[in-house]
A and B are shown apart, each in its own frame.
Chain A
Amino acid sequence: MSIIFERLTHIYDASLTTSQVALHEVDLEVMDGTFSAIIGETGSGKTTLVQHINALLIPNEGCVKVDEFVVTKKKKENKNLKMLRKKVGVVFQFPEYQLFEETILKDIIFGPKNFGMNEADAIEKAKEVIQLVGLDESYLEKNPFNLSGGQKRRIAIAGILAADPDILVLDEPTAGLDPQGAKEMMTLFTTLNKDHNKTIIMVTHDMEHVFHYCDHVVFMKDGKVDKNCSTKQFFEDIEYLKSMDVKLPFIIETKELLRKKGIVIEEYVETIEELVNRIQNEVKKHG
């Protein structure tokens, strides 16, 4: 079980003179249970790529395979899209704009009901997911439009989680949130990944998040996958990061500055504490 892209090409406005090749023969496999980051500069095709996973976009060439589902350009063969969409939950950038019911409960159970869950089960599920996203049950009877932006986003994410997808696709989920709110979101996604076994694919521009939370990195450039490796491998290749103008995470940058000053830390360090300990050791060694 995994997500496989095979020679996937997507062209926007294919019939027009203004046509745009957004993806060019992308080959990619995302393993089950991973927390992958999709990064790359703006316009590199990240959103286009992830919207193929639940067939919101249909490939012009090639295909996407998600378990038994195969999506190709042949419209007739793309059956069961609804079941695919139940399996793959997509959270859009600024998902708060998709809210529309008069109570939060109704909005959360909207998805599950569309996917065929009965109302009672859906309400049970709503109670479960509202706590998962860090709000309590008292919110369920409130009007979603009276909440803050961050709260609305939690509700929107709860609405996706309520359908119990196996794969969660997040397109810049923390854009526009305050640092604390963003951190809570990332913690939520980590919990979903580790404790609820959901495969997570996250599009992001925040290298700190990639560094601290993701285990795989897919680097996109001009509609192609330029690099696909573990987070560790990705951030160890400093030359590559520099050539691609990737903003270094704080820890990597600090290590790099230290190296220039002659303090070389070979190990891959993941936390600030660890980094401080290493520096202390080095300093002691050199007396």
Chain B
Amino acid sequence: MDNIVFGRYISGDSALHRMDPRAKILAMLFLIISIFIPSGIFGYVFIGIILLDGVFLAKLSISYIFKAMKPMMFMMFFLLLVNVFVIRNGDVLFTVFDYPIYEKAVFQTFYIVIRLLFMITITTLLTATTKPLELTLGIEDLLSPFKRIGVPAHIIAMMISIALRYIPTLIEETQRIMKAQASRGVDLEEGSFKEKISALLSLIIPLFISSFQRAEDLASAMEARGYDPEKKRTRYHILKMQNMDYLFVFFSILVLLLVILIKVVFYAI
């Protein structure tokens, strides 16, 4: 019953913790875009090194990042399997039980897995070093230019922040219910398919019930305090970008440009 760590904020005092949330969100966007540029092995090695530095800057350990990925391992494995067998491009690399495996299939699958790993690393870096409230403020600020064209920046930010705020609660709740049902003999790892379904239901139903309960309570509590999403609000914390923050965003743009350069140099379109 290992702790689920994906999406959790880890209190700390690293360089990344102190950074302006807007700078972090922007940097995250640029890095994610650079992941999706098919820049081949060189590009990915380069991004990998940059991300390692990020993990170091956040004072997290590599094992923590792997822990965050753990819940998604199953999905990744599945994806990998399907991909390897379905893609039929390029040369045949080898055969498994008379089933040909193609070179392209292996490479593409490898890239997909790498991309997923990098995505998780980047989001973990963001959520582990940014308090949910800061994240909301950051998102709201970044969306505010779009207010003019009718984007409800505040409402979107509030929804995102509530969702983020409830990730740890939901995780805690899941662990609690898992323990409670384990005490009643539920075994999520063993048993027949039918037993597994029933085990999963014993987890999901209580989780849904308590989530709805919580959502209702929260809505009532917000209404009782006169919350109105349309009203203009003042802030207690005013975000202010420091030189470091600008530098950080600039640096992430640089990474993106370099990745594009790598692509152009090694894999001319």
Using CB atoms and an 8 Å cutoff, list the residues of chain A in contact with chain B.
Answer: 12-13, 15-18, 51, 54, 56-57, 82, 85-86, 89-90, 92, 95, 97-100, 110-111, 113-115, 145, 159-160, 163
State whether A56 touches B182 (Cβ < 8 A). Answer: yes
User: Which residues of the other chain, B, contact A115 by a CB distance below 8 angstroms?
Assistant: 185
Would you list which residues of chain B between 206 and 220 have a CB under 8 Å from chain A? 206, 209-210
State whether A89 touches B183 (Cβ < 8 A). Answer: yes
User: Which residues of the other chain, B, contact A100 by a CB distance below 8 angstroms?
Assistant: 201-202, 205-206, 209
State whether A85 touches B209 (Cβ < 8 A). Answer: no
Is there a chain A Cβ closer than 8 Å to B11's Cβ?
Answer: yes
State whether A114 touches B184 (Cβ < 8 A). Answer: yes
Bitwise interface map of B from 190 to 231 toward A, beta carbon under 8 Å scored 1, else 0: 000000000001100110011000000000000000000000
Contact with B183, one of A16, A17, A99, A160 (Cβ below 8 angstroms): A160
State whether A98 touches B64 (Cβ < 8 A). Answer: no
Q: Report the interface size for chain B: residues with CB under 8 A from the other chain.
A: 27
Bound-state CA distance A159–B202 (Å) is: 13
17 contacts between A and B (CB under 8 A): A12-B3, A13-B3, A15-B67, A16-B64, A18-B10, A18-B11, A85-B185, A92-B179, A97-B210, A98-B202, A99-B206, A100-B201, A100-B206, A111-B184, A145-B209, A160-B183, A160-B184
State whether A86 touches B185 (Cβ < 8 A). Answer: yes
Bound-state CA distance A159–B205 (Å) is: 17
Query: What 5 pairs between A and B have smallest CB-CB spacing?
Result: A114-B185, A111-B184, A100-B205, A98-B180, A90-B183
Min C-beta distance of B12 to chain A, whole Å: 7
Q: Contacts A56-B182, A163-B184 given; 14 further ones with Cβ under 8 A? A: A13-B3, A15-B63, A16-B61, A16-B64, A18-B11, A85-B184, A85-B185, A97-B180, A98-B181, A98-B184, A100-B201, A100-B206, A111-B185, A160-B184
Given contacts A15-B61, A16-B64, A92-B176, contact A97 B206 (CB under 8 A): yes
Question: Among the interface residues B180, B181, B183, B187, which one has the most CB atoms of the partner chain A within 10 A?
Answer: B183
Bitwise interface map of B from 111 to 136 toward A, beta carbon under 8 Å scored 1, else 0: 00000000000000000000000000
Is there a chain A Cβ closer than 8 Å to B186's Cβ?
Answer: yes
State whether A85 touches B176 (Cβ < 8 A). Answer: no
Using CB atoms and an 8 Å cutoff, list the residues of chain B in contact with chain A.
Answer: 1, 3, 10-12, 59, 61, 63-64, 67, 176-177, 179-187, 201-202, 205-206, 209-210
Min C-beta distance of B212 to chain A, whole Å: 11
State whether B183 touches A82 (Cβ < 8 A). Answer: no
Min C-beta distance of B11 to chain A, whole Å: 7
User: Which residues of the other chain, A, contact B185 by a CB distance below 8 angstroms?
Assistant: 82, 85-86, 111, 113-115, 163
State whether B177 touches A98 (Cβ < 8 A). Answer: yes
By beta carbon, the residue of chain A nearest B184 is: A111
User: Which residues of the other chain, A, contact B12 by a CB distance below 8 angstroms?
Assistant: 17
User: Which residues of the other chain, B, contact A56 by a CB distance below 8 angstroms?
Assistant: 1, 179, 182-183
By beta carbon, the residue of chain B nearest A111 is: B184
Question: Among the interface residues A51, A82, A110, A114, which one has the most CB atoms of the partner chain B within 10 A?
Answer: A114
User: Which residues of the other chain, A, contact B206 by a CB distance below 8 angstroms?
Assistant: 97-100
User: Which residues of the other chain, A, contact B177 by a CB distance below 8 angstroms?
Assistant: 97-98
Contact with A17, one of B1, B59, B182, B186 (Cβ below 8 angstroms): B59
Min C-beta distance of A204 to chain B, whole Å: 19
User: Which residues of the other chain, B, contact A18 by a CB distance below 8 angstroms?
Assistant: 10-11
Min C-beta distance of B22 to chain A, whole Å: 26
